């Protein structure tokens, strides 16, 4: 997991089970993430369910389910490393890294120096999720860790769902509006192509520092997605983007799922061809 995602805290207890809490990395709506060490002084990242959610069985069930999905992805090169989990914690490999959103915000040179490999590795990570039989459903820059040498790890599988053969509707609408596909925002059935759309939004943002469909609310974002003109072509905002890469990313952002890449494996192959990797 990543260092520097939020301010340190000295208010938390010094121990959690057999682990010593060393530094608070991030505090989200469901869990806090700490750098911890065990009795052998080995360092890990520990994601701990928030205390106020201990008796929220819906939140606990989602938390545990996400941990179990990560366990199934253990060993995937572009997924954060799984160690173990319990009913209220997840232990992961500690990676000296930051999330893509923070790196965007400060125009970190690690992005420009490694942009092609980052894009390919994001797609490889997403493909690993799909090959394991799941949709991520919250693919966005905050859930992509990048190390100082440009290595990518995907995180946070709390919203993941089994990958269906045909689009399915969910009673709740998982995800983050700015990265949701039009069919998600319209509460229609979704499948793995919703993740491909979210990948396209993230890649577009990485290459241009702009969102393809700006808006402050889900309604505004959907209206931007449904405009006939579509998003501004990548190369109008960044002429350094190779035409073949522009074509692949813009295909991810097609309004109709049928016009996107059918599978993440196809997307990954097209990216590798476009970037001569």
C-beta separation of 277 from 248 below 8 A: no
Cα(126)–Cα(19) distance, integer angstroms: 31
Distance from first CA to last CA of the chain, Å, rounded? 27
C-beta separation of 130 from 264 below 8 A: yes
Long-range contacts of 30-33 (CB under 8 A, 24+ apart): 30/59, 30/62, 30/63, 30/158, 31/63, 31/90, 33/1, 33/5
3-state DSSP assignment of residue 241: coil
Q: Where are the beta strands (DSSP E) in the chain?
A: 15-16, 19-27, 31-37, 43-49, 82-85, 89-93, 97-99, 134-135, 144-147, 152-154, 161-162
| Token code pair at residue 181 | 């596909």
C-beta separation of 184 from 173 below 8 A: yes
Task: Please confirm, yes or no, whether 138 is among the known catalytic residues.
Answer: yes
C-beta separation of 93 from 44 below 8 A: yes
29 forms beta bridges with none
Which of these is catalytic: 32, 121, 138, 191? Answer: 138
Residues belonging to the active site: 138
């Amino acid at each position: 997991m990543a260092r520097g995602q939020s301010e340190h805290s000295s208010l938390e207890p010094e121990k959690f089970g057999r682990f010593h809490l060393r530094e608070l990395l991030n505090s989200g709506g469901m869990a806090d993430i700490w750098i911890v060490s065990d009795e052998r002084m080995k360092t890990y990242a520990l994601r701990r369910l928030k205390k106020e959610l201990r008796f929220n069985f819906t939140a606990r069930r989602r938390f545990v389910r996400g941990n179990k999905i990560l366990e199934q992805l253990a060993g995937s090169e572009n997924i954060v490393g799984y160690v173990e989990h319990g009913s209220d914690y997840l232990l992961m490999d500690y990676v000296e890294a930051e999330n893509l959103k923070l790196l965007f915000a400060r125009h970190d040179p690690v992005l420009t120096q490694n942009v092609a490999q980052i894009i390919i590795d994001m797609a490889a990570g997403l493909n690993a999720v799909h090959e394991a039989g799941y949709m991520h459903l919250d693919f966005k820059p905050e859930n992509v860790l990048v190390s100082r040498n440009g290595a990518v790890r995907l995180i946070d599988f709390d919203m993941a769902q089994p990958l269906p053969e045909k689009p399915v509707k969910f009673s709740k609408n998982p995800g983050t509006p700015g990265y949701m596909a039009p069919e998600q925002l319209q509460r229609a059935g979704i499948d793995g192509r919703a993740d491909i759309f979210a990948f396209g939004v993230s890649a577009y943002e990485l290459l241009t520092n702009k969102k393809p469909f700006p808006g402050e609310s889900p309604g505004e974002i959907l209206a931007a997605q449904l405009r006939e003109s579509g998003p501004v072509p990548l190369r109008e905002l960044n002429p350094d983007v190779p035409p073949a890469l522009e074509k692949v990313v813009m295909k991810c952002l097609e309004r109709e799922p049928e016009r996107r890449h059918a599978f993440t494996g196809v997307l990954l192959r097209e990216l590798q061809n476009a970037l001569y990797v």
